[in-house]
Amino acid sequence: MTDKLSIIIVGAGIAGLSAAVSCALAGHSVIVLEGATELAEIGAGFQITPNATKILQRWGLEGEMKKTWAMPSSCTVHRYADGKALWHEANFAKNIQRKYEAPFVDMHRVDMQKILYDKAVELGAEVRLDHKIKEVRMNDEHGLPELEQMDGTVLSGDLVVGADGLWSRCRESMLGSKDQPLPTGDLAYRIVLTLDQIQDEELKQFVSNPTLHFWIGPKAHAVGYSMKSGTMYNLVLLVPDDLPPEVSRRPASIDEMKQLFEGWDPILTRLLGCVTTVDKWKLMHRAELESWTNKEKNFVLIGDSCHPMLPYLAQGANSSIEDGCVLGRVLSYVTRREQLPRAVELFEKLRKSRGEKVARETFLQRHDFHMEDGPEQQARDKIFDSQQGKEEAEVKFPSRWNCPEVQSWLYGYDAYQEVVKAVKQHPLS
């Protein structure tokens, strides 16, 4: 490389750290500015699907991940009321590995963030905590983007990457106006249980032998899986949003939570019986942007700043890993500064339509998981029934987690290959 780019990434979440790893691997100089004073996102689980594990493997992170991951052997979709299995894929883990040559695993989010952080630092990226950004703007004199920090100091680089999440300031800087996230109409109760909190032997076994479960009902569903090598359980309850518009998160009443799931599958309600504290989080999204880049092509958005989604396909962080990976891979072809605008254009071409397609698909999953009992739900359950006893679903399926059509484009994505193909078709110079 003749020209080494100086890249400044705003935010050390999964998107920012993935971009840091990938851009550093591409040989560029990377600084990450993170507003928080420590990297310890509120602990909860995170499902990592093959489209992302494939990337993490290529970065040599599988060994570290294995120390704490849990791999769900099976995947079951239950009817809410009696817990009946509408669908059971007994060899889920094996089927996924065979089809996508990469695993589907569940981890504690903080563990994954730490692994990415360590890798980024090992590769020479500098991560500055307690560095909150106020705005990003263009400096017309030298034609570079510059960032103003909260303390007034200004920094500039060849490329600024906005990876500052749902409440992104970078997004507002790019748009040049205030822009607030929008409610999706749902909220999440996020629960983490440790084995010590569970007295019941049967439930302990349930947690120690990792499997993936969905319970689906009218206007709500629950998802549960083990993490931390089967010593912790992550449970998320998705229900209609009743938080006031100005509140995005607050401690919740356990009684109220239990009432919402009264009469659901006993295994779920017994798990809820172990909960001692819980928060509810408003689930937000955003309108699609016209572009994820500025017109000079030296400022780009990734992750939740440009494609937040419902967590109903567990793709927010996975697609942020894809974003970070693709950005770095495209930039690995940049040997001269003049090639940067073409590279940024190519990044957007590769990522925007996919990120937005995934986000739209999460709303379709809500529709299929949250049906009221009635003719539409009965028609849905007939599709589930039609596949009972098969190794894998063979038709377009209401659970996209097992649907041959959606799963193949979602999990079959190979970020490295996509970049190689795109650069062949659209060389940078």
Ligand X SMILES: Cc1cc2nc3c(=O)[nH]c(=O)nc-3n(C[C@H](O)[C@H](O)[C@H](O)COP(=O)(O)OP(=O)(O)OC[C@H]3O[C@@H](n4cnc5c(N)ncnc54)[C@H](O)[C@@H]3O)c2cc1C
Q: Which residues bind ligand X (CB under 6 A)?
A: 10-16, 33-36, 46-47, 132-133, 163-166, 169, 188, 190, 236, 281, 303-304, 311, 314-318, 320
242: DSSP letter: -
Question: Parallel, antiparallel, or unpaired for β 133-139 and 232-240?
Answer: unpaired
Nearest to 73 by CA among 301, 225, 179: 225
Give the C-alpha separation, 116 to 55, whole Å.
Answer: 12
The secondary structure of residue 259, as a DSSP letter, is H
Rounded-to-integer distance, Cα 88 and Cα 283, Å: 28
Smallest distance from ligand X to CB 346, Å: 21
The CA distances from residue 334 to 155, 167, 232, 420, in Å, are 22, 31, 44, 13
Q: Smallest gap, in angstroms, from Cβ of residue 275 to ligand X?
A: 15
Min separation Cβ 17 and ligand X, Å: 8
DSSP states along 109-123: HHHHHHHHHHHHHHT
Which residues does 275 contact at the CB level (< 8 Å), separation at least 6?
191, 193, 254, 257
Residue 339 CB, shortest distance to ligand X, in Å, is: 26
Tokens 């009696």: give the residue. 82
Residue whose CB is less far from ligand X, 127 or 419: 127
Which CB, 14 or 334, lies closer to ligand X?
14
How many Cβ atoms from other residues are within 10 Å of residue 405's Cβ?
A: 12
Q: Tell me if residue 310 falls in helix, strand or coil.
A: coil
CB 65, min distance to ligand X, A: 14
Evaluate whether 62 touches 56 at the Cβ level (below 8 Å): yes
Strand order in the sheet with 6-10: 126-128, 29-33, 6-10, 159-162, 299-301
Judged by beta carbon, residue 11 or residue 50, the one nearer ligand X is 11
How near is the Cβ of 57 to ligand X at its closest, in Å?
Answer: 16
DSSP for residue 221: E
- Closest approach of ligand X to the CB of residue 76, in Å: 17
Cβ 394 to ligand X shortest distance, Å: 26
Cα separation of the two ends of the chain: 14
Residues found in the chain? 429
User: Shortest distance, CB of residue 18 to ligand X, whole angstroms?
Assistant: 8
What is the Cα–Cα distance from 192 to 172, expressed in whole angstroms?
A: 34
CA distances from 343 to 224, 340, 419 (A): 40, 5, 11
